[in-house]
Structure 1
């Protein structure tokens, strides 16, 4: 049959109708609200972190243990001044559980160390008997209303420890198989993991495994240092399976649930499914507190139910116990919608901790942190190449939104217009004394501010008063060395370390405001070093091979120095760089015990975490918001062990924490000495000195590295003083001209 030809009019009408449909569809799409999201294009759902707070009446208690009970609910065990309490958290609310069997133990004599739910669904606990002055671990099992002590002869047998003293075994953890077999993990690295018969207490098997350790119903799972992987082993000691495991071992936990192996470390919570071969991330560490490498993980609880949840018990950097809970939220984007980049040469602990806190409070923001050099170690060539590559990127209008400027040519960046003026955020905080005025005045001009430090470190000298008072002045040091026998008055750290130390202390005299080297001061600097090394002895001149420059994010001026250790070295002079109040304990012990004199170096401080914003950033407002967060109470009051806070209120808080100082043990060679904590008067005297600090040690680390290479040739008599001066002037001129 022949088809009828479509008329031109009909074709035209159909074409018009089609165009109308397209136009209406386009208008409908165009009218969609900006708040509407194309959920199909944005992957949704991830585990969100919640820091659990105990009910108000229990907040003075101390959390001992957490576990997942037989109903897959979180159980939390608390110690009060007089008793133990157990709480159950179902994901929304708390209820108290009766644990009379635990409270029948004499807690004046025994310290409850840990509570465990075995694979046999029975409760166990570890106690420590310290009544006799010796620490002896014991294991108890729930028996109705009573606690039944398990007789394990191994726990009651003393052996010789690493000090040559007789002591009972130390216990880190216990696990229990389905048949009640006990697995005991010792706390001393290198000792075997032991398996015991529950009825006789006799040793069944020992395993050359280390933590992390877990058990299944019938098997033991632990890490083999020989094979560098997790091994599954049965009660006969036979290996039945192995698993790849790349986590940091000394801060990692594993747990077996229904054949699946769960892992907790700074990368997050991950799972190796039964019969699987690849670890799958469940809770992303980078988006949670888990990635904070100052956290010390204690326990992991896995609640495998219709809606899985995970709980983590950990100590933070200030030794506060923290309980985190992770539940899946299907209404949150899998990957945060807003991203910002932070760059530094060296890892900055405060930045890292702040990113974790900020992201937990702002789940829609992801902050990518990149640092170029691992562990503060870099050759001059590598450092130079890294900085040149960064400079090229920044001058091209690219680079990270926030720059941590420690070790970078920050003044050059200001001159070349790389950095954003942040005075609108900083000046009000200085004017209202939120920030330390003495510190911040060095970064504010009448019209601008381009960078500020997040922390400051306190270098000081302690020991012989004449030496301590002379060290900040180049002329005074020369006079001292010319007129006094300094043998035994200096803790000898070698030529290179002395060269670095004094270059830092005199950097403002050595490098002029015009970015040139002061030739006269340079000559005096070389004279002083030569005199010092001659007085200390020829054999010390060639002690090069360590570098004081830039370990992590700050200059390290005390590298090579020993410390006060009592009468044997009380006449020497030492340098100490305080990163926290705890670091002052040895210095203050020397002052208290033998009258050592201590002082700062003419009120100089070391900048740490110097932060600026890239002028080319496309996230300037977010970057400024994060900068304000970095300087706020929450970040400044936390301890990252990289310096004292620039926030005045936070600094007051730190310096008033005298009660937290517990003293310390220090060891030199085979001798161990106990240092007592300072009292309030000593800490106040130190704080008075810290409040006077107003002069930054802020020199160019790349320049100093180049200079010290030339100083080495001079001290090794390879070149004359005149040649050394000329060589230093040449390398400095070339570098500063870049």
Structure 2
């Protein structure tokens, strides 16, 4: 649970002194002349013709100096396609007969791509499932004398022997010589444009996103496994020479690329629009992310295209249906009029923060909010909080110190005690009083003096999932310990001491320390419960290679109890599907919430009023309405709205171990009754979970002898107290 882990790192007095003196920005007058310059790239919304309203726009590309759009719609239970071309706001139906003749016997199609080779031959690729199937299959057609010719490679038509699923096409592009480059989850292939036969093949050894673009001679792939992300430029075939190009941004959200015939690259995403000219060594930033729809979370880019005049077009799909087409071009008369530039620092990248920054700038064009994050969503493994503290301390001492701080995983008490955070009660308090926020969550941050310095913008909770166990028996540590001690069955499966501690201590970590003293009575009671649970599941010293503790993935096979941190109604779909499959039950463990995006304002920011106004927006419905899978909203109206949303677009298929082997598993949207139950749980949560690396370390060191029965409860409590005495006294 990296989002709530804190570690014992103190801010030095020297750093704090520097930070208190350095928070805030230069006065507007210092950079006003620079900000009033003329000439900049601008975003313009293009009107789409009414004829396109019934169609679902799937793709965009450039051809013959015009923007081309691929569209689909359902007719009599089948999916049909059309192609449109235009420039500006005028589009014409240019669908060729072969494309119009393609009719897929289904209503759901994904990964649709129309591509064109140097001689004008067109190809259509699509992934779809027949009505009686749950596994998607990939198909490929070409235009052949006005007819649609199926040239699907044979390897795509045979289910994988191990998984029982078809090869899944992720991206495809045509080359000038008439061949096709295709990327699947297992391989990259060079296909014959004549009959689809595989000419060359290479096993995929890196992690790629679904982007495959071509400039006619070269293929460009986005590799997400390498540090900082990279673009791989492959000359023609899978085995061709590879040039690696650093990505211009670390953002994990909404990275889109396209290539021009001259070999220039465009990358557009939440951090902005970037261009790298052919043979150039560096990227140039054309437009900041908050100035564009790329940073909005209520839409996503479905394609980029570059015109001969250098202007860039982007096709966006909107949440709830609909599409928009934007044009980006340099306007020599446009004026930059930024009067205030606020800096927001967050440990983890967040689409909600990005959305809030964009929306605030659009409501207040004179204010820009720049976001800096330590870890993107692509970063895996444990966060290095020592490095985060060092980076943040350096920022707090500098001229561009953050105005807004999102402190997930950091020791927020140290920031408050040293006076680094402003009281945000004037922003949060009135919203609580009006019933706009979940006060059971946000109210936990009111200090003894009535002030508050932090508020979480989102939250999650630890969901207990069980088979042959009622919800009330796994809703608390005491109830679970009593239940498990009364059954001979092993519900959790064997645990290491570290695994057992990590499962349970975050939910009593805050209870065992009172005013820098260990509460021996509370700790003793929790240890008794932990001993009962350990006796039930059994303790193993370590895990062998490839071994792991039971998780919710095992509930249909070996496990009968598991825990899952859930962070949104969509994020609940998989665990709820598991519960439905095993005909089990679920509960919010310890009625605790996991605070996310814990936000405060720098005490010495010159723009505290603006930062406070931004915080109000971040807590409002307009920002909190969107379910990003990464957290439930603390805004009550948004929470209720998300609970009742249609989640059918988030349904998926996978496989799980059950009934003695692998079975296909459908993740469907759950019932209205279940949604109401989840909503009720969220409204009742009132206790924050918390982690502390030192307390965790001491617990693990002290519990071995106790859990094996050779050390008393009292002796264990004493050992833990001795291990924490100096730490708690600091």
User: For the superposition of Structure 1 and Structure 2, which TM-score range results when normalised by the shorter chain?
Assistant: 0.7 to 0.9
What is the DSSP-based 3-state SS (H/G/I as helix, E as strand, rest coil) of the residue aligned with 1:79? Answer: strand
**TM-score normalised by L of structure 1:** 0.76
What is the DSSP-based 3-state SS (H/G/I as helix, E as strand, rest coil) of the residue aligned with 1:509? Answer: coil
Query: What residue is the counterpart of 2:308 in the other structure?
Result: 304
Please state how far the C-alpha of 1:655 moved relative to its aligned partner. 0.5
Answer 1 or 2: higher relative contact order, Cα 8 Å, separation at least 6.
2
What is the DSSP-based 3-state SS (H/G/I as helix, E as strand, rest coil) of the residue aligned with 1:449? Answer: coil
Match 1:625 to one of 600, 613, 616? 613
Please state how far the C-alpha of 1:78 moved relative to its aligned partner. 2.8
Query: What residue is the counterpart of 2:472 in the other structure?
Result: 469
Structure-2 separation of matches of 1:39 and 1:404:
31
Structure-1 separation of matches of 2:104 and 2:391:
63
Structure-1 separation of matches of 2:293 and 2:702:
45
5 Å-filtered alignment, 1:570-581, equals 572-581=560-569
Please state how far the C-alpha of 1:636 moved relative to its aligned partner. 0.5
Q: 1:473 to 1:58 in 2, by over 3 A?
A: same
5 Å-filtered alignment, 1:30-429, equals 44-50=38-44, 54-55=48-49, 58-59=52-53, 61-70=55-64, 72-82=65-75, 84=81, 86=83, 90-91=87-88, 93-99=89-95, 101=97, 104-107=100-103, 109=105, 113-120=112-119, 124-126=123-125, 135=137, 137-141=139-143, 147-150=146-149, 152=151, 154=153, 158-159=157-158, 161=160, 163=162, 170=169, 172-177=171-176, 181-196=178-193, 198=194, 213-217=212-216, 219-222=217-220, 230-231=232-233, 233=235, 242=243, 244-246=245-247, 255-264=258-267, 266=269, 268-285=272-289, 288=292, 290=294, 298-305=302-309, 308-313=310-315, 323-332=325-334, 338-359=340-361, 364-372=366-374, 375=379, 377=381, 383=385, 387=389, 399-429=401-431
Please state how far the C-alpha of 1:579 moved relative to its aligned partner. 0.9
Matched, 1:689 2:690: no
Query: What residue is the counterpart of 2:9 in the other structure?
Result: none
Q: 1:543 to 1:255 in 2, by over 3 A?
A: closer
Work out whether residues 194 and 207 of structure 1, in 8 Å CA contact, stay in contact via their aligned partners in 2.
no
Query: What residue is the counterpart of 1:435 in the other structure?
Result: 437
Q: 1:354 to 1:252 in 2, by over 3 A?
A: closer
Q: 1:461 to 1:193 in 2, by over 3 A?
A: same
What is the DSSP-based 3-state SS (H/G/I as helix, E as strand, rest coil) of the residue aligned with 1:601? Answer: strand
Q: 1:256 to 1:628 in 2, by over 3 A?
A: same
Q: 1:413 to 1:698 in 2, by over 3 A?
A: farther
Structure-1 separation of matches of 2:677 and 2:469:
20
Query: What residue is the counterpart of 1:28 in the other structure?
Result: none
Q: 1:510 to 1:465 in 2, by over 3 A?
A: farther
Q: 1:421 to 1:233 in 2, by over 3 A?
A: closer
Structure-2 separation of matches of 1:568 and 1:207:
36
Structure-2 separation of matches of 1:578 and 1:263:
36
Work out whether residues 338 and 368 of structure 2, in 8 Å CA contact, stay in contact via their aligned partners in 1.
yes
Query: What residue is the counterpart of 2:632 in the other structure?
Result: 644
Q: 1:49 to 1:701 in 2, by over 3 A?
A: farther
CA deviations on 1:2-46 (whole Å, 9 max, x unpaired) are xxxxxxxxxxxxxxxxxxxxxxxxxxxxxxxx9999867865433
Work out whether residues 455 and 646 of structure 1, in 8 Å CA contact, stay in contact via their aligned partners in 2.
yes
CA deviations on 1:69-120 (whole Å, 9 max, x unpaired) are 32x33333332334655555644x3444353636731535486933334444
- Which range moves more in the overlay, 35-44 or 414-423? 35-44
Structure-2 separation of matches of 1:94 and 1:423:
52
Structure-2 separation of matches of 1:128 and 1:648:
39
Structure-1 separation of matches of 2:593 and 2:674:
20
Please state how far the C-alpha of 1:347 moved relative to its aligned partner. 4.0
Query: What residue is the counterpart of 2:18 in the other structure?
Result: none
Please state how far the C-alpha of 1:702 moved relative to its aligned partner. 4.0
Structure-1 separation of matches of 2:372 and 2:674:
40
Please state how far the C-alpha of 1:614 moved relative to its aligned partner. 1.7
Structure-2 separation of matches of 1:521 and 1:689:
25
Q: 1:575 to 1:187 in 2, by over 3 A?
A: same
Query: What residue is the counterpart of 2:535 in the other structure?
Result: 534
Query: What residue is the counterpart of 2:663 in the other structure?
Result: 672
What is the DSSP-based 3-state SS (H/G/I as helix, E as strand, rest coil) of the residue aligned with 2:690? Answer: coil
Please state how far the C-alpha of 1:656 moved relative to its aligned partner. 0.5
Query: What residue is the counterpart of 1:453 in the other structure?
Result: 456
Query: What residue is the counterpart of 1:708 in the other structure?
Result: 699
Work out whether residues 48 and 329 of structure 1, in 8 Å CA contact, stay in contact via their aligned partners in 2.
yes
Structure-2 separation of matches of 1:37 and 1:345:
28
Q: 1:591 to 1:673 in 2, by over 3 A?
A: same
- Which range moves more in the overlay, 282-291 or 410-419? 282-291
Please state how far the C-alpha of 1:575 moved relative to its aligned partner. 1.7
Query: What residue is the counterpart of 1:552 in the other structure?
Result: none
Work out whether residues 190 and 198 of structure 2, in 8 Å CA contact, stay in contact via their aligned partners in 1.
no
Q: Which stretches in structure 2 are left out of the alignment for 5+ residues?
A: 1-27
Structure-1 separation of matches of 2:337 and 2:436:
35
RMSD: 4.7
Work out whether residues 63 and 79 of structure 1, in 8 Å CA contact, stay in contact via their aligned partners in 2.
yes
Please state how far the C-alpha of 1:302 moved relative to its aligned partner. 0.9
Please state how far the C-alpha of 1:705 moved relative to its aligned partner. 3.5
- Which range moves more in the overlay, 185-194 or 252-261? 252-261
Q: 1:288 to 1:506 in 2, by over 3 A?
A: same
Work out whether residues 313 and 327 of structure 2, in 8 Å CA contact, stay in contact via their aligned partners in 1.
yes
Query: What residue is the counterpart of 2:601 in the other structure?
Result: 613
Query: What residue is the counterpart of 1:11 in the other structure?
Result: none
Structure-1 separation of matches of 2:245 and 2:641:
45
Work out whether residues 213 and 253 of structure 1, in 8 Å CA contact, stay in contact via their aligned partners in 2.
no
Q: Which stretches in structure 1 are left out of the alignment for 5+ residues?
A: 1-33, 547-558
Q: 1:383 to 1:323 in 2, by over 3 A?
A: same
Please state how far the C-alpha of 1:463 moved relative to its aligned partner. 1.8
Match 1:562 to one of 551, 554, 557? 551
Aligned length: 673
Please state how far the C-alpha of 1:454 moved relative to its aligned partner. 0.6
Please state how far the C-alpha of 1:303 moved relative to its aligned partner. 1.3
